[in-house]
């Protein structure tokens, strides 16, 4: 298992070791001991799965403290462009975003820490996304930011006016107006 930080403090890309032969393939998508050896000491308590068609954008979502969630996300079928935005005040990368293609072929996973808004768009005909959370869903702390916020300027890989978005996500506030209660604390 290869774990690497991807430019926004705490945001990690996880690439499992895959064993393939004529029968197919096998890999461990999660192993508590291997994650701990890489400094990722989390206890996951909830699994979520969604299926969406091409052009759907889900997000940008997060939960406020004290209910914020760490997410370990992967794609079971299809391909998505996954996006995380640093929303931690005082972070050197506050307001910056990172995107990565996740697919059933590349088998990459992204570990999204607390203090990040998260979303994805489907870039194949459909995609099934699976993610683990270290905290249970808390509807009262759910918040979000518009996926097409001009200040963030996220490149979704297609014209945003063609995105298929839920009514709820379409009514999310801008980056500046969104409620955030995360403070960056440098380690050490």
More confident residue, 94 or 188: 94
**Residues 49/128, Cβ–Cβ less than 8 Å:** yes
CA distances from 110 to 2, 12, 22, 87 (A): 12, 6, 28, 17
Closest CA to 113 of 81, 87, 137, 89: 87
Does 183 score more than 60 pLDDT?
yes
Rounded CA gap, 142 and 119, in Å? Answer: 14
Tell me the C-alpha distance between 103 and 39, whole Å.
Answer: 25
Structural domain spans, the chain:
2-170
What confidence tens digit (pLDDT) does each residue in 112-150 have? 999 999 999 999 999 999 999 999 999 999 999 999 999
Q: What is the mean pLDDT of residues 157-184?
A: 96
DSSP string of 113-139, one letter each residue: -TTEEEEEEE-SSEEEEEEEESS---G
- Give the separation between CA 46 and CA 136, rounded to whole angstroms: 6
Q: How far apart are CA 40 and CA 32, in angstroms?
A: 8
> pLDDT class for 186, splitting at 50, 70, 90?
confident
7: pLDDT confidence band, cut at 50, 70 and 90? confident
Q: Which fold has domain 2-170?
A: Jelly Rolls (2.60.120)
Contact 80, 121 (CB under 8 A): yes
Q: Which residues contact 70 (CB under 8 A, 6 or more apart)?
A: 42, 111, 112, 113, 114, 133, 134, 135
Taking alpha carbons only, the member of 76, 74, 70 closest to residue 11 is 70
Question: CA-CA distances (angstroms) from residue 42 to 14, 36, 59, 109, 134?
Answer: 14, 8, 23, 15, 7
pLDDT tier, 188 (very low <50, low <70, confident <90, very high otherwise): low
Residues acting as catalytic residues? 61, 131
Say whether pLDDT at 22 is over 80: yes
User: Is residue 44 pLDDT above 70, yes or no?
Assistant: yes
Query: What average pLDDT does the segment 44-64 reach?
Result: 98
The pLDDT score that the predictor gives to residue 61 is: 98
Q: Give the model's pLDDT for residue 110.
A: 98
Q: Is the pLDDT of residue 167 over 80?
A: yes
Helices and strands: H and E segment counts in the chain: 2, 13
């Amino acid at each position: 298992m290869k774990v690497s930080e991807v430019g926004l403090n705490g945001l990690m890309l996880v690439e499992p070791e895959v064993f393939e032969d004529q029968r197919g393939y096998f890999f461990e998508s999660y192993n508590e001991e291997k994650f701990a050896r890489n400094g990722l000491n989390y206890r996951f308590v909830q699994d979520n799965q969604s299926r969406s068609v091409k052009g759907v954008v889900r997000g940008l979502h997060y939960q406020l403290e004290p209910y914020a969630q760490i997410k370990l996300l992967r794609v079971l079928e299809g391909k998505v462009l996954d996006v995380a935005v640093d929303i931690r005040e005082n972070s050197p990368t506050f307001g910056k975003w990172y995107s990565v293609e996740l697919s059933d072929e590349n088998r990459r996973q992204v570990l999204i820490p607390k203090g990040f808004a998260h979303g994805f768009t489907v870039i194949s005909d459909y995609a099934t996304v699976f993610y683990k959370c270290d905290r249970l869903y808390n509807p009262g702390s759910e918040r979000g930011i518009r996926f097409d916020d001009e200040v963030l300027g996220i490149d979704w890989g297609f014209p945003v006016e063609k995105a298929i978005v839920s009514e709820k996500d379409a009514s999310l506030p801008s980056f500046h107006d969104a409620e955030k209660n995360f403070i960056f604390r440098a380690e050490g």
